[in-house]
A and B are shown apart, each in its own frame.
Chain A
Amino acid sequence: MVMAHTADPQPVVHKPHGWRRWLFATNHKDIGTLYLWFAFCMFLVGGVLALCIRTELFRPGLQFFQPALFNQLTTLHGLIMVFGAIMPAFTGLANWMLPLMLGAPDMAFARMNNWSFWLLPPAMALLLLSFLVPGGAAATGWTLYAPLSVQLGMGMDLTIFAIHILGVSSIMGAINIVVTIINLRAPGMPMMRMPMFAWASLITAYLIIAVMPVLAGAVTMVLTDRHFGTHFFNAAGGGDPILYQHVFWFFGHPEVYIMALPAFGIVSQVIPTFARKPLFGYTSMVYATSSIGVLSFMVWAHHMFVTGMPATAQLFFMYATMLIAVPTGVKVFNWIATMWEGSMSFETPMLFAIGFILLFTIGGLSGVTLSVAAVDVQLHGSYYVVAHFHYVLVAGALFSLFAAVYYWFPKMTGRMYGERLGKLHFWWSLLWFNVTFFPMHFLGLAGMPRRIPDYALQFTTFNQIASVGAFMFGLGQLIFLFNILHSLRHGKTAPQQPWEGANTLEWRLPTPAPYHSFHEAPELETAENGVVLDMRGGKHG
């Protein structure tokens, strides 16, 4: 075959319009936008489910939801937040920013990228549809533990197939991210100079490819146990319910880092920008992130301390889990060192990043408390765990996402968000987040189990505080929505470089970022953390 570089046509020169632009999209920015809006909608849906939970738990006694329905609400809240909100939001950001940060024309597989996104709405539709079928949605908790999940009605089957589709979607999305990072970096952007966000996305994507198939395997076994006569999770046939938990948590623990590593990446971009100082300890950040990735495969059974493992297994998983505190600590200390002696200003992204560090540390430290098996015996399955993971998920993953959206909003849209509203959003969220979730530590310690629709009287006060906090926190998210919608039309026009200290590649592009950027790769001269010292060429239009 004759190669004809010179005659190589650039097929996509125009910008498609109307619904086709979105449904048939191959442009990474459009797909990223789709991901972000979809994730936000799912966040609202999951949030409304959370509000239902909090409403029922406002008072002891059953008021609004029967126990069976309550369990469905809890399950779907968890599933939707994890698979519908947080994961797609990070994939969307990676889609938007990676090509811009690395100097690539688009994602490596632009068409497959579209498929990754458009598989999400059907999957979520199946999940939500399960509320309507006889027997209702899965009522097992997001962990779908067998044998309970073997008992339920066809809502469980819809959930299983939804998870299969979600798996296909996230594996394709992750392959796209990995290949883009490995293969599409512009000349002059070696791996060890990439922005931390790219590193975080790379390792996250690797985790996704490794563990989503395992989840698919686990739910497939549940499916065959339900309908095809196998006994994977039934002792009477030679199986074992605990097998499910091992397989699930082999997925599940890396999964929680899938929701944490990109957050670390975002914070590692935001903090240096507003401290006007390079990221401290870039190399150790890379190694810390990688070792978290590796360690996360060796700690899964810390979710199973009360299943009755042998003492040796108990101890192994306890030590391995405690060990994760070390690389995570390195990251926290590096961020603080980046702030140290900086010249800090506190725009909204910076506020969310600082809030992230503080609250994530609380969540991480309660994680270390949980990791001590003997103490976990008291705390497992209680609201203490609920408190722990909302500190790392809401104040962690979600706050970092807010930071990212505020940070890159000017580059994405060409307009500034409203700074005062942004700050209000932050302080409001910070306050009510803690009002909602801090008391849950007390509840758990005092003995309140999770996943219950009704509780004994001594838990009343803190539940009421938490419920009020949840509603106020939710209300605060409307500030965010309003700010975004309003600024899209009426925001001040953003300069090319809205942040004084921002010096990664995306800020070298015009604002808003042109529809096609870098369809000719630029020649870069870079420093660590993606800092661009010089750029030549790089056509866009």
Chain B
Amino acid sequence: MSCLRMVGSAVACLLLPGEAASAQELAINLPSPATSLARLEYDLHSMLLLVTGVIFLLVLAVMLYAIVRHRKSAGHIARQFHENTTVEIIWTVIPLLILLAIAWPATRAVLNQKSTHGEDMTIKITGYQWKWRYDYLDDNFGYMSHLATPRTMPAGSTALPAHYLLEVDEPLVVPTGRKVRLLLTANDVIHSWWVPQLGIKQDAIPGFLRDAWFIVDQPGIYRGQCSELCGKDHGFMPIVVEARSPEDYARWRDARLKQAAASADDPSRVWSLAALRERGEKVYGQNCVPCHQASGKGIPGSFPALDGSPVVNGDKAAHINIVLNGSKKNPAMQAWGKQLSDTDIAAVITYERNAWGNHTGQLVQPAEVKAARGGAA
């Protein structure tokens, strides 16, 4: 019977944790802290665990004693007392004192978490459905960070990759030993940026800014996940922070800046259909697939099919408009103009108009998008 097999596997889990968890260590506590804040939280939690543990054991002990000694089957006769002001005062005041003792370090920790000033650099983090964007405000560059492991087990393989669901294409890179201030916001719904080892969890709220800070002690890779339900792929927007030594970081940053300068598109360049399509396919894959699907068929009832859609096969202006400015009817279809360049938008539209069963043969040049932007603003 399947139940028996389950029990069996539970027992196996208990006895052979190493094997069941593919040789990962069984974590039962907060991960080892990598910042002062995380250390603070770790210590505070250890203290609470101790205090509450002792309280629980006391409660348990007294109850067990009563259960063993004061039971009918042991011949105990009930004593009919039912009041005693002294003990009642005692067990009101003692918990109060314990709580006061907890409140003191707890207050200091909160104040510490909130002291975001005096930063060495600022990074703006924007949550999108379902990816993160990091903007280095001091250096004027930024990029998107997407999930990088496959969503399902690769066909034919029996094991998932080691950092399954916790790998991104472009991690957030920060220097060690520097106070980094994060400014968080979101584009569509609320997300939450959580990296346990850095001791940070902060909601990213659309239209509002929140801040947080950290100073990483050691170079290394620190992983986390979005921790506020943000729709379908909430489980698939990991966070990876790569801390490098300041020199390493400076090299990385310079390379980034050069790359950004080199790849800036000239919006007046005229593209060929094939080149735009090719680029558009990439843009589509990174931005549109979660909803409209790679097949262009969408998800009936939630996300419309683009394959055969009247908008995609009809007037160009309407198509540009919905991609650029989003949908008034359903905010899930956001205004992509805010995060994609004119060239990217032109490319993805061109792709959509010439993919799957759509054969309009039309192409949209970046200049047209630029013109449409001007009109809307």
Interface residues of A (CB under 8 A from B): 60-62, 67-68, 71, 133-136, 139-141, 145, 147-148, 150-151, 153, 234-236, 240-242, 275-284, 306-308, 310-311, 314-315, 318-319, 322-323, 325-326, 329-330, 332-334, 336-346, 354, 357-358, 361-362, 365-366, 368-369, 372-375, 377-378, 380-382, 435, 442, 445-447, 449-458, 460-462, 464-465, 468-469, 471-472, 475, 528
Q: B114 to A311, Cβ gap below 8 A?
A: yes
Q: A445 to B232, Cβ gap below 8 A?
A: no
Partner of B29, one of A151, A373, A446, A454: A446
Q: B144 CB to closest chain A CB, in angstroms?
A: 20
Residues of A within 8 A of B92 (CB): 326, 329-330
> Does residue B224 face the partner (Cβ distance < 8 Å to A)?
yes
Binary contact track B71-98/A, C-beta < 8 Å → 1, others 0: 1110011111111100110011001100
On whether A330 and B201 interact (CB within 8 A), knowing A449-B227, A451-B229, A464-B20, the answer reads: no
Complex CA gap A334/B102 in Å reads 24
On whether A456 and B166 interact (CB within 8 A), knowing A326-B96, A369-B48, the answer reads: yes
Q: B164 to A456, Cβ gap below 8 A?
A: yes
> Does residue B262 face the partner (Cβ distance < 8 Å to A)?
no
Q: A239 CB to closest chain B CB, in angstroms?
A: 8
Residues of B within 8 A of A133 (CB): 301
- Sample (7) of A-B pairs whose CB atoms are under 8 Å apart: A235-B207, A365-B56, A372-B109, A377-B199, A442-B27, A449-B225, A458-B25
Complex CA gap A413/B227 in Å reads 48
On whether A354 and B67 interact (CB within 8 A), knowing A456-B164, A471-B3, the answer reads: yes
Residues of A within 8 A of B206 (CB): 147, 234-235, 241
Q: A67 to B235, Cβ gap below 8 A?
A: yes
Complex CA gap A276/B56 in Å reads 25
Of A278, A442, A456, chain B has the most CB atoms within 10 Å of the CB of A456
The 8 closest A-B pairs by CB, nearest first: A235-B207, A134-B301, A452-B235, A374-B109, A308-B210, A446-B27, A381-B227, A365-B52
Q: A378 to B30, Cβ gap below 8 A?
A: yes
Q: A153 to B301, Cβ gap below 8 A?
A: yes
Q: A135 to B301, Cβ gap below 8 A?
A: yes
Complex CA gap A3/B20 in Å reads 79
Q: B332 CB to closest chain A CB, in angstroms?
A: 5
Residues of A within 8 A of B27 (CB): 442, 445-447, 458
Q: B211 to A374, Cβ gap below 8 A?
A: no
Q: Given A242-B205, A344-B76, A454-B236, list of 14 further CB < 8 A pairs? A: A68-B299, A68-B302, A276-B78, A282-B82, A323-B99, A330-B91, A338-B82, A341-B79, A345-B72, A445-B28, A445-B29, A451-B234, A451-B235, A461-B26
Q: A380 to B201, Cβ gap below 8 A?
A: yes
Q: B110 to A374, Cβ gap below 8 A?
A: yes
Q: A325 to B114, Cβ gap below 8 A?
A: no
Closest residue to A357 on the B side, CB-wise? B63
Q: How large is the interface on B (under 10, 10 to 19, 20 to 34, 35 or more residues)?
A: 35 or more
> Does residue B188 face the partner (Cβ distance < 8 Å to A)?
yes
On whether A458 and B21 interact (CB within 8 A), knowing A375-B44, A451-B234, the answer reads: yes
Closest residue to A318 on the B side, CB-wise? B106
Q: A306 to B66, Cβ gap below 8 A?
A: no
> Does residue B49 face the partner (Cβ distance < 8 Å to A)?
yes
On whether A464 and B59 interact (CB within 8 A), knowing A147-B188, A373-B110, the answer reads: no
Binary contact track B23-59/A, C-beta < 8 Å → 1, others 0: 0111111110000000011001100110010011001
Binary contact track B100-112/A, C-beta < 8 Å → 1, others 0: 0011001101111
Residues of A within 8 A of B331 (CB): 147, 150-151
On whether A340 and B70 interact (CB within 8 A), knowing A306-B202, A471-B3, the answer reads: yes
Complex CA gap A60/B21 in Å reads 10
Q: B190 to A341, Cβ gap below 8 A?
A: no
Q: B60 to A358, Cβ gap below 8 A?
A: yes
Q: A456 to B163, Cβ gap below 8 A?
A: yes
Q: B83 to A281, Cβ gap below 8 A?
A: yes
Q: A313 CB to closest chain B CB, in angstroms?
A: 10
Q: B187 CB to closest chain A CB, in angstroms?
A: 11
Q: A145 to B88, Cβ gap below 8 A?
A: no
Closest residue to A333 on the B side, CB-wise? B91
Residues of B within 8 A of A150 (CB): 331
> Does residue B233 face the partner (Cβ distance < 8 Å to A)?
yes
Q: B110 to A322, Cβ gap below 8 A?
A: no
Q: A277 to B20, Cβ gap below 8 A?
A: no
Main secondary structure on chain B at its contact with chain A? mixed
Contacting A at CB under 8 A, from B95-154, are 95-96, 99, 102-103, 106-107, 109-114, 151-153
Residues of B within 8 A of A345 (CB): 71-73
Residues of A within 8 A of B330 (CB): 151
On whether A306 and B190 interact (CB within 8 A), knowing A358-B63, A365-B56, the answer reads: no
Residues of A within 8 A of B162 (CB): 457
Q: B232 to A139, Cβ gap below 8 A?
A: yes
Q: A465 to B332, Cβ gap below 8 A?
A: no
Q: B342 CB to closest chain A CB, in angstroms?
A: 23
Q: B226 to A134, Cβ gap below 8 A?
A: no
On whether A148 and B190 interact (CB within 8 A), knowing A67-B232, A377-B113, the answer reads: yes
Residues of B within 8 A of A341 (CB): 66, 70, 76, 78-79, 81
Q: B160 to A61, Cβ gap below 8 A?
A: yes
Partner of A455, one of B9, B56, B70, B235: B235
Residues of A within 8 A of B374 (CB): none
Partner of A315, one of B110, B166, B196, B211: B110
Q: A234 to B207, Cβ gap below 8 A?
A: yes
Closest residue to B75 on the A side, CB-wise? A343
Q: A71 to B232, Cβ gap below 8 A?
A: yes
> Does residue B349 face the partner (Cβ distance < 8 Å to A)?
no
Complex CA gap A323/B169 in Å reads 46
> Does residue B255 face the partner (Cβ distance < 8 Å to A)?
no
Q: A116 CB to closest chain B CB, in angstroms?
A: 32
Q: B53 CB to closest chain A CB, in angstroms?
A: 8
Complex CA gap A136/B299 in Å reads 11
Q: B225 to A447, Cβ gap below 8 A?
A: yes
Q: B59 to A332, Cβ gap below 8 A?
A: yes
Partner of A375, one of B48, B99, B190: B48
> Does residue B194 face the partner (Cβ distance < 8 Å to A)?
yes
Complex CA gap A337/B228 in Å reads 42
Residues of B within 8 A of A276 (CB): 72, 78
Identify the stretch in B10-18, B241-249, B279-287 within 8 Å (CB) of chain A at 4 or more residues. Answer: B10-18
Complex CA gap A385/B57 in Å reads 22
Closest residue to B7 on the A side, CB-wise? A468
Q: A281 to B202, Cβ gap below 8 A?
A: no
Q: B16 CB to closest chain A CB, in angstroms?
A: 9
Q: B202 CB to closest chain A CB, in angstroms?
A: 6
Complex CA gap A71/B233 in Å reads 10
Q: A78 CB to closest chain B CB, in angstroms?
A: 11
Q: A308 to B202, Cβ gap below 8 A?
A: yes
Complex CA gap A281/B82 in Å reads 6
Q: A322 to B205, Cβ gap below 8 A?
A: no
Complex CA gap A450/B62 in Å reads 35
Residues of A within 8 A of B152 (CB): 61-62
Q: B301 to A472, Cβ gap below 8 A?
A: no
> Does residue B203 face the partner (Cβ distance < 8 Å to A)?
yes
Contacting A at CB under 8 A, from B152-191, are 152-153, 160, 162-166, 184, 188-190
> Does residue B300 face the partner (Cβ distance < 8 Å to A)?
yes
Complex CA gap A325/B207 in Å reads 36
Of A136, A326, A362, A457, chain B has the most CB atoms within 10 Å of the CB of A457
Closest residue to A332 on the B side, CB-wise? B59
Partner of B228, one of A136, A275, A338, A381: A381
Closest residue to B10 on the A side, CB-wise? A468
Partner of B302, one of A141, A153, A241, A368: A153
